[in-house]
Amino acid sequence: MIEDELKELLRRALQAAAPGLGLDGELPEPELFTPRQKEHGDVATNVALALAARAGRPPVEVARAIVEALPPAPFVERVEVAGPGFINVFLAERWLVDVVRAVAAAGERFGWAPPSGRRAQVEFVSANPTGPLHIGHARNAALGDALARLLEAAGWQVEREYYFNDAGGQMDRFGRSVEARYLELVGREAEVPEDGYHGEYVRDLARDILAAEGPGLADLPADERLVRLRSEGVRRVLAQIERTLERFGVRFDSFVSEASLAERGEVGAAVDRLRAAGYAYEADGAVWFRSTAFGDDKDRVLVRSNGVHTYFGADCAYLIDKFSRGFDRLVYVWGADHHGDVARLRGAAAALGYDPEAVEIVLYQWVTFRRGGEPVAMSKRAGTFVTLDQLIDEVGADAARWHLLTFSNDAAMSFDIDEVKRRSMDNPVYYVQYGHARIASILRKAREAGVELRPIAEVDLDLLAHPSELDLLRAIAGVPGLIATAASMRAPHRLTHAAHDLAGRFHRFYTECRVVSDDEALTQARLWLARATQLVLAGLLGLLGIGAPERMERPDA
RNA sequence: GCGCCGGUAGCUCAGCCUGGAAAGAGCGACGGACUUCUAAUCCGUGGGUCGGAGGUUCGAAUCCUCCCCGGCGCGCCA
């Protein structure tokens, strides 16, 4: 809001200075930015540089003229013309200090935008329920969840959804695998199909089903038996997935089954609707979607020549289902290997009469998991894979999420399990969590010493003037902008970096400034600064789905 | 061949959307700081043709074009 006022002042100064500079016509909107170096002020503008050519004067002269015309304001300490013609504004420290009050009022939600009333759905993970989640799902889970949290902070009302395919060839193989293990357990001859699921977990599922349902399922007619065992298996796998996600800090609002869409006839309805819109046609016995009309490189099959719809066909029905629930924005979180499907999905939205802009696909590049530098080989069907549960057991949910949320979605990344675990001492996540715990400890110690945090209205925050204090304040003041930017860019990793930076500034402040001292007034101001930092750190970690501990034990080694 | 993503310090990566002042962080290396609120900390030093070449611009890691290298995708698979 200070920025808006400053912009208005600059606008007025520009207008006042324009005649003297020989400028007529439309004046540009002054763009503000935060200089990299704090010697360059708190806010700067390059408007003089942009106008120099038009004015036919050196940029520095233009800048001086604008500065001279700038009306005074209480929050402006001083204004400088610097470098090639930048106008650097130094804000009064009193203003900077106000952020402590703002944080005190907002708590961990400092920097959040007010509710916009707009609804977004984030659909993520959506792994087929043929087995436990494994490390291949980790980035999707971490990213989707952080994105959902971030959108909430940006004012969206968010629903998290998990879509699962419980029909199709893959599921048949899964069903037959469960069936085979079940039959084995009741003493019948059976074998897991070669292309089925051979992992030990399938045997566990069968054992569980046997314990709950008894041996009677073996005597059902073959078709019925398969369907029954498959659905019993799916139910258990999904429950297990939900438990794993819970441990990972992820909670879904809804689970949607592909089969249920088909059973309600929604897939057929979607195809009919596309046909009516003129975007579906028959060829070679199949029904095709004219995705080439929407930038795809070839048309796509909706219904195969054997009469069975494709996944894409179901996706169209699902799209209608999603839109019919009134979401303003549909966010899909996909691995980059699906980038080729983006055009057809958004095309389908357009063909169905929806705004394709409302369909947003967030892609992330692949993760190579390693142990001691060597890639971890995985095969789900052979049952050789590292589960997400194992990953959480080994490195912890916080460290795993932090690592997964450190990199830009667009960057392929490596996750060395041994390294993230072994290096836990200097893992950045602990650096940040320690910052939070350290503050908690200070507040605890202060209380033990009889120093209570006084109401902020009674505290003289203007006493905060040490460079490391101001650095901390500046970082806190940037958080609302950070959250807005990270959300609009769908880039949670910006929060990770900012949290690390903030923790660093706190550690520096801690080293240079004694919080609890004989100076009561200063102690109160610093306690509040520490408290505000703690709240903001907890808020940022919260958006990343990472815990903010009150205490951390010093490691021995 | 076409498409998407990457290429920035020894290593791992931010910064690029919306161009701006000496290009940042962590790790690693080297040298310092604990009688004081947790040293899981802090300070300092060294380290970069921002893949290459053109272009736009007063100004390019950032925008445009081409090229090189790497990853991924291009089924009536899931």
- Distance in Å, residue A41 CA to nucleotide B33 C1': 31
* Cβ neighbours, 10 Å, residue A133: 26
Q: Are A453 and A82 in contact (CB under 8 A)?
A: no
- Structure tokens of A69? 């015309």
The answer to whether A493 CB sits below 7 Å from nucleic acid chain B is yes
Q: What is the distance between the alpha carbons of residues A437 and A428, in angstroms, rounded to a whole number?
A: 14
Q: What is the pLDDT of residues A68-101, one digit of tens each?
A: 888 888 888 889 888 778 888 888 878 889 999 9
- Distance in Å, residue A70 CA to nucleotide B59 C1': 25
- Distance in Å, residue A44 CA to nucleotide B55 C1': 29
The answer to whether A500 CB sits below 7 Å from nucleic acid chain B is yes
Closest nucleotide C1' to the C-alpha of A303? B76
- Structure tokens of A469? 């204090």
Q: Are A314 and A306 in contact (CB under 8 A)?
A: no
Cα three-residue angle A518-A522-A527, rounded to 5 degrees: 100
Q: What is the distance between the alpha carbons of residues A147 and A156, in angstroms, rounded to a whole number?
A: 11
Task: Quickly list H helices, A135-168.
Answer: 138-153
Pick from A546, A479, A537: nearest CA to A154: A479
Assembly ipTM? 0.95
Coil vs helix vs strand at A464: coil
Instruction: Give me the pLDDT at residue A43, please.
Output: 82
Instruction: Give me the pLDDT at residue A382, please.
Output: 66
Q: What is the pLDDT of residues A250-297, one digit of tens each?
A: 999 999 999 999 999 999 999 999 999 999 999 999 999 999 999 888
- Distance in Å, residue A411 CA to nucleotide B70 C1': 12
Q: Are A277 and A230 in contact (CB under 8 A)?
A: no
Coil vs helix vs strand at A379: strand
User: Band of the pLDDT at A304, cuts 50, 70, 90?
Assistant: very high
Residues 6+ apart with CB under 8 A from A82: A40, A88
- Distance in Å, residue A209 CA to nucleotide B63 C1': 60
Q: Which CATH number fits domain A424-543: 1.20.120.330, 1.25.40.10, 1.10.730.10, 3.90.25.10?
A: 1.10.730.10
Q: Are A495 and A540 in contact (CB under 8 A)?
A: yes
The answer to whether A284 CB sits below 7 Å from nucleic acid chain B is yes
Closest nucleotide C1' to the C-alpha of A442? B37
- Distance in Å, residue A434 CA to nucleotide B13 C1': 22
The answer to whether A46 CB sits below 7 Å from nucleic acid chain B is yes
Expressed in percent and rounded to 5, the helix, strand and coil fractions of chain A are: 55, 15, 30
The answer to whether A491 CB sits below 7 Å from nucleic acid chain B is yes
Instruction: Give me the pLDDT at residue A266, please.
Output: 96
Q: Are A483 and A113 in contact (CB under 8 A)?
A: yes
For chain A, the average pLDDT equals 92
Torsions phi, psi for A361 (to 5 deg): -110, 120
* Cβ neighbours, 10 Å, residue A211: 9
* Cβ neighbours, 10 Å, residue A224: 10
The answer to whether A422 CB sits below 7 Å from nucleic acid chain B is no
Q: From residues 167-226 of A, which are strand B contacts by CB within 7 A?
A: 168-171
Instruction: Give me the pLDDT at residue A557, please.
Output: 43
Q: What is the pLDDT of residues A348-404, one digit of tens each?
A: 999 999 999 999 999 999 999 998 888 887 766 666 788 999 999 999 999 999 999
- What are the extents of the domains in chain A? 2-91, 119-165+251-364, 169-247, 424-543
The answer to whether A448 CB sits below 7 Å from nucleic acid chain B is no
pLDDT of A25 > 80? The answer is no
CATH 3.40.50.620 fits A119-165+251-364, yes or no: yes
Residue A227's alpha-carbon distances to A181, A188, A203, A245, in angstroms, are 15, 18, 17, 27
- Structure tokens of A95? 């203003």
Q: Give strand B nucleotides closer than 7 A to any protein Cβ.
A: 2-7, 12-15, 17-18, 20-28, 36-43, 57-59, 70-78
The answer to whether A396 CB sits below 7 Å from nucleic acid chain B is no
The answer to whether A407 CB sits below 7 Å from nucleic acid chain B is yes
Coil vs helix vs strand at A304: coil
State which residue has its Cα closest to the C1' atom of B4. A339
- Whole-prediction pTM value? 0.93
Q: What is the pLDDT of residues A438-486, one digit of tens each?
A: 999 999 999 999 999 999 999 999 999 999 999 999 999 999 999 999 9
- Distance in Å, residue A66 CA to nucleotide B20 C1': 18
- Distance in Å, residue A472 CA to nucleotide B43 C1': 18
Residues 6+ apart with CB under 8 A from A450: none
CATH number for the domain formed by residue range(s) A2-91: 3.30.1360.70
